[in-house]
């Protein structure tokens, strides 16, 4: 799937902790069968807080219902593993080949994406039976010492992790636009911390190697190749809500000179006045607002805004990173701040020495970007070494780089060649993963991609500037 294609069981009407399996810190020795069970189980754990009614909702064309995510990730293993390598495999239902195909024209004509929410059948229970059927069959493949099979299973697991993130972002779009503002879970960490002053780190540039070099990567991270970078500087953390509020209060959304032409057209057409999920408190009672927005000094620091998070709607936290902005908003903010967005290779070269597991990921049960210093269940938590600059986790970082092929890139043969390559048009690259990404899924060379107006992903802003 493409990252923009949209990837995500128990049923309960009451949100509760999904105590699903998370990425173990020392998992390098985990065998493929164990990893398969853990990743597949995590998709179902993410659905534990859902009510049965939540499974089928498709709030917009880009956001798929949880039931569809659960079935499509299963379809991937059935189509690209079982039907090709398990000679005695009996399909669970032959009709699912069309129904849960996302966009692989080489497999057949997919069921239309905007109609995924129309499907009350198969039922949620039948989709779970489908998952169990495929898991039982995969058990016969996962221990085979066949390089192609093992590589495909690894791809299927990374694909499922992409859909786990999409399941959370699609659920947020569903719940966050509901006037009742229901929480996905009530038990998420949401303590605020500090952001500190914005500082820039200088990088000398030069001729540098970029692209994947590890044991697993997607085809769009290859081939590894050299690039020339002029000297540049990158901000040492993400842009905060308080900083973005300054842009808004300075008339940022009313100043066409700050915007790309397509961006200004999007502002006018959509009536954007703030990031997605922000809501002015003007309509709330004075007393409610006084109770909710006073800090220890009794001052209001949220600018009068509420923000919907997966834990529910709360007063805006000034020091948390701003999130759910389009590339256009990120670009306009950077211009207003006298800076620009990084290129994807500036980002990659700066982030490569850092630990890609040391950040705020979905496993951390916050499901929202965190300030550089933050307080969790166990008191003040300092970011781990290498995570203080927020390169990994928290929010995907828009870059100014068009999503295109690297020199020498060729799409893989067969229908799997449709996974990434055919989307290399009119999209921008985002880097670093988010608070909804499973820990261990991203790396320095990982390229996410979305269209510039998209705001429903956990997308944020890092500033860059030239060193003349
Ligand atoms: Fe997919």
pLDDT tens per residue across span 170-201: 999 999 999 999 999 999 987 778 888 899 99
Other CB atoms closer than 10 Å to residue 380's CB: what's the count? 11
Task: Supply the pLDDT for residue 195.
Answer: 86
Q: Is residue 183 part of a domain?
A: no
Last residue of a domain, one of 176, 208, 238: 176
- Burial per residue of 153-184, b for 16 or more beta-carbon CB atoms within 10 angstroms, e otherwise: bebbbbbbbbbbbbbbbbbbbbbbeeeebbbb
Whether residue 219 sits in one domain with residue 273: yes
Q: Is residue 187 part of a domain?
A: no
Whether residue 356 sits in one domain with residue 221: yes
Structure tokens belonging to residue 159: 């694909």
Q: Separation of 419 CA from ligand 1 center, angstroms?
A: 8
Whether residue 309 sits in one domain with residue 161: no
Angle, CA 169 vertex, CA 390 and CA 186 arms, to 5°: 85
Q: Is residue 92 part of a domain?
A: yes
Whether residue 217 sits in one domain with residue 161: no
Whether residue 143 sits in one domain with residue 65: yes
Q: Which residue reads 């949620």 in tokens?
A: 124
Strand bridging mode 459-460 / 396-402? parallel
Task: Supply the pLDDT for residue 182.
Answer: 98
- Residue 196: left if φ>0, alpha if ψ -120 to 50, beta else—which one? left
Task: Supply the pLDDT for residue 374.
Answer: 62
Structure tokens belonging to residue 307: 């923000």
> Which residues, including other chains, have CB under 8 Å from residue 172's CB and lie 6 or more apart?
184, 277, 308, 310, 456
Q: Is residue 61 part of a domain?
A: yes
* Domain count within the chain: 2
> Which residues, including other chains, have CB under 8 Å from residue 222's CB and lie 6 or more apart?
211, 212, 406, 409
What CATH number has the domain bearing residue 231?
3.90.1580.10
Q: Is residue 13 part of a domain?
A: no
> Edge to edge, what strands does the sheet with 232-235 contain?
200-203, 232-235, 464-466
Q: Is residue 11 part of a domain?
A: no
CA dist 223 and 405 (Å) reads 9
CA-based diameter of the chain, in Å? Answer: 70
Task: Supply the pLDDT for residue 299.
Answer: 42
Whether residue 145 sits in one domain with residue 215: no
Cα dist from 45 to 71, 112, 299, whole Å: 15, 28, 40
Task: Supply the pLDDT for residue 29.
Answer: 58
Whether residue 264 sits in one domain with residue 411: yes
Whether residue 207 sits in one domain with residue 169: no
Whether residue 414 sits in one domain with residue 277: yes
CA dist 161 and 297 (Å) reads 43
Structure tokens belonging to residue 202: 């200088």
Whether residue 41 sits in one domain with residue 96: yes
Other CB atoms closer than 10 Å to residue 25's CB: what's the count? 10
Q: Separation of 391 CA from ligand 1 center, angstroms?
A: 25
Chain-centroid distance of CA 435 in Å reads: 7
CA dist 93 and 123 (Å) reads 13
Other CB atoms closer than 10 Å to residue 449's CB: what's the count? 24
Q: Separation of 26 CA from ligand 1 center, angstroms?
A: 28
Task: Supply the pLDDT for residue 303.
Answer: 79
Q: Separation of 309 CA from ligand 1 center, angstroms?
A: 25
Cα dist from 393 to 261, 298, 313, 427, 440, whole Å: 30, 32, 22, 21, 10
Q: Is residue 1 part of a domain?
A: no
Q: Separation of 6 CA from ligand 1 center, angstroms?
A: 7
Q: Separation of 72 CA from ligand 1 center, angstroms?
A: 7
CA dist 290 and 271 (Å) reads 28
- 7 and 424 in contact (C-beta within 8 Å)? no
Q: Separation of 33 CA from ligand 1 center, angstroms?
A: 21
> Which residues, including other chains, have CB under 8 Å from residue 429's CB and lie 6 or more apart?
344, 399, 401, 402, 403, 447, 448, 449
pLDDT in tens, the chain (468 residues): 344 443 322 222 222 233 344 554 444 458 999 999 999 999 999 999 999 999 999 999 999 999 999 999 999 999 999 999 999 999 999 999 999 999 999 999 999 999 999 999 999 999 999 999 999 999 999 999 999 999 999 999 999 999 999 999 999 999 999 999 999 999 998 777 888 889 999 999 999 999 998 889 999 999 999 999 999 999 999 999 999 999 999 999 999 999 999 999 999 999 999 999 999 987 555 555 555 554 444 445 687 999 999 999 999 999 999 999 999 999 999 999 999 999 999 999 999 999 999 899 999 999 999 988 765 556 656 565 556 799 999 999 999 999 999 999 999 999 999 999 999 999 999 999 999 999 999 999 999 999 999 999 999 999 999 997
Whether residue 295 sits in one domain with residue 162: no
Strand bridging mode 312-315 / 396-402? unpaired
Q: Separation of 163 CA from ligand 1 center, angstroms?
A: 7
Whether residue 268 sits in one domain with residue 400: yes
Q: Which domain holds residue 309?
A: 200-466
Q: Separation of 265 CA from ligand 1 center, angstroms?
A: 31
Task: Supply the pLDDT for residue 21.
Answer: 45
- Burial per residue of 223-238, b for 16 or more beta-carbon CB atoms within 10 angstroms, e otherwise: eeeebebeebbbbbbb
DSSP 80: I
CA dist 234 and 335 (Å) reads 14
Q: Separation of 103 CA from ligand 1 center, angstroms?
A: 8
Task: Supply the pLDDT for residue 440.
Answer: 96
Q: Which residue reads 């990730």 in tokens?
A: 73
Q: Separation of 283 CA from ligand 1 center, angstroms?
A: 40
Q: Separation of 5 CA from ligand 1 center, angstroms?
A: 6
Q: Separation of 159 CA from ligand 1 center, angstroms?
A: 6
Q: Separation of 282 CA from ligand 1 center, angstroms?
A: 41
How far apart, in Å, do the first and last CA atoms of the chain sit? 41
Q: Is residue 16 part of a domain?
A: no
What CATH number has the domain bearing residue 102?
1.20.120
Q: Separation of 17 CA from ligand 1 center, angstroms?
A: 26
Q: Separation of 111 CA from ligand 1 center, angstroms?
A: 13
Q: Separation of 154 CA from ligand 1 center, angstroms?
A: 14
DSSP 79: I
Task: Supply the pLDDT for residue 262.
Answer: 98
Q: Separation of 246 CA from ligand 1 center, angstroms?
A: 38
């Amino acid at each position: 799937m493409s990252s923009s294609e949209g990837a995500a069981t128990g049923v309960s009407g009451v949100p509760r902790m999904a105590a699903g399996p998370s990425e173990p810190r020392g998992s390098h020795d985990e065998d493929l069968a164990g990893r398969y069970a853990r990743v597949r189980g995590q998709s179902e754990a993410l659905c534990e807080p859902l009510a049965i009614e939540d499974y089928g909702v498709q709030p917009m064309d880009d956001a798929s219902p949880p039931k569809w995510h659960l079935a499509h990730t299963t379809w991937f293993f059935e189509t690209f593993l079982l039907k090709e390598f398990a000679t005695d495999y009996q399909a669970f239902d032959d009709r699912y080949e069309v129904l849960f195909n996302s966009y692989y024209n080489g497999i057949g004509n997919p069921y239309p994406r905007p109609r995924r929410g129309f499907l009350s059948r198969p039922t949620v229970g039948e989709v779970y039976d489908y998952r169990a059927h495929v898991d039982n069959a995969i058990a016969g493949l996962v221990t085979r010492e066949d390089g192609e099979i093992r590589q495909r299973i690894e791809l299927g697991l990374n694909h499922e992790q992409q859909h786990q993130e999409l399941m959370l972002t699609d659920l947020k779009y569903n719940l966050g636009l509901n006037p009742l503002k229901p929480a996905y879970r009530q038990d998420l960490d949401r303590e605020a911390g500090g952001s500190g002053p914005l500082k820039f780190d200088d990088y000398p540039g030069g001729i540098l190697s970029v692209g994947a070099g590890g044991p697993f990567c997607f085809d769009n991270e290859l081939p590894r190749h050299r690039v020339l970078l002029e000297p540049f500087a990158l901000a040492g953390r993400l842009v905060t809500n308080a900083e973005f509020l300054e842009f808004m209060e300075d008339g940022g959304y009313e100043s066409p000179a700050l915007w790309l032409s397509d961006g200004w057209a999007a502002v006018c057409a959509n009536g954007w006045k703030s990031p997605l999920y922000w809501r002015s408190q003007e309509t709330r009672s004075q007393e409610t607002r006084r109770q909710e927005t006073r800090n220890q000094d009794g001052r209001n620091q949220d600018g009068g805004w509420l923000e919907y998070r997966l834990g529910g709607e709360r007063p805006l936290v000034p020091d948390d990173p701003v999130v759910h902005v389009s590339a256009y908003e990120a670009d306009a903010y950077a211009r207003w701040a006298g800076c620009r967005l990084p290129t994807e290779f500036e980002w990659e070269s700066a982030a490569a020495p850092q630990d890609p597991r040391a950040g705020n990921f979905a496993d951390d049960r916050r499901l929202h970007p965190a300030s550089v210093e933050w307080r969790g269940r166990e008191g003040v938590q300092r970011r781990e070494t290498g995570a203080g600059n927020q390169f990994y986790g928290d929010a995907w970082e828009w870059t100014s780089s068009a999503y295109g092929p690297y020199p020498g890139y060729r799409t893989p043969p067969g229908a799997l060649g449709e996974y990434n390559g055919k989307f290399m048009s009119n999209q921008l690259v985002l880097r670093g993963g988010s608070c909804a990404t499973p820990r261990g899924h991203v790396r320095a060379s990982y390229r996410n991609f979305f269209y510039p107006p998209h705001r429903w992903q956990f997308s944020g802003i890092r500033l860059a500037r030239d060193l003349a």
